[in-house]
Each structure stands twice: as C-alpha cells, then as structure tokens.
Amino acid sequence: MEKPTAAFILLLIGGIFIIIGGIFVIALGGVIAGMELPAATSASGLVIGVGFLGLIFGILVVIGALMVNSGDPGKVKNESIIGLIFGVLSLFVVGGGFFIGFLLSLIDGILGLTWKPGKTQVEQPAPT
C-alpha cells in the first residue's frame, strides 16, 4: 500500500516544532511569574495558558501526522486538513513553532490534499 511519506514526515516534524514552541512559551510564563512585578501573576497565568494551548495544538498535529501515515485516501485528506488548520492556529498562539512548524504544516496540507494513491496492479491471468 502506498503512503504519503513526505506529507507524514513534514507534518510530524512540524508538530514537534509546535510542541517545542508551546513548551518554550510555558517556560516564558514561568520566567514572568518569577518577576516581582504587580501584574506578573496574571500575565504569567495568561502566557502559561497560551503555551498549553499551543502544546495541545502540537499534539493534535502529531496525531494528524500518524493518521496521514495510514494511507487511506479519506483519512489522508481529512487529517491533512486538520493538520493544516491547527498549524495555522499555532501561528497565532505560539508563533507556529518558531514559524517552522507552521510552514511545514502548510506544506503538508498542500501535499496531503493533492496526494493520490497509486493504481494497484491487477494480476493478469497467465495465458493458456
């Protein structure tokens, strides 16, 4: 069975970058919480919440990548769309995983939507 390997790899790497970006934003929230400023507590809570949202988006992109690897044409198209949507949303939440995760999920969305499975060869009966 033919699988969209390039789309799978790009979406997986993009999801990993988005997860790393979410972890980075969570760590940034921790640094803000450590500052002794009057508004630091509420700001750090907001930043940490945004980081967790980015982490969830990255996990959903990785799950989409695993589903793209199934090779089923219906699943490939649906999960490519899901990976594309969460990759674009991650751009606004955690910077798209240092912009690389967004870019890779965008390329995967295009590859996954244009992927067509190869034609299976039908065995010809032996001539008699």
55-89, pLDDT tens digit by residue? Answer: 999 999 999 888 888 877 788 888 888 888 888 89
Contact present, 118 and 31 (Cβ < 8 Å): no
* 119 φ/ψ angles, rounded to the nearest 5 degrees: -75, 130
User: What is the model's pLDDT at position 121?
Assistant: 56
- Residue 110 and residue 125: Cα distance in Å, rounded? 39
Quickly tell me which residue has 């490519």 as its tokens. 80
**pLDDT tier at 22, thresholds 50, 70, 90:** very high
User: What is the model's pLDDT at position 83?
Assistant: 86
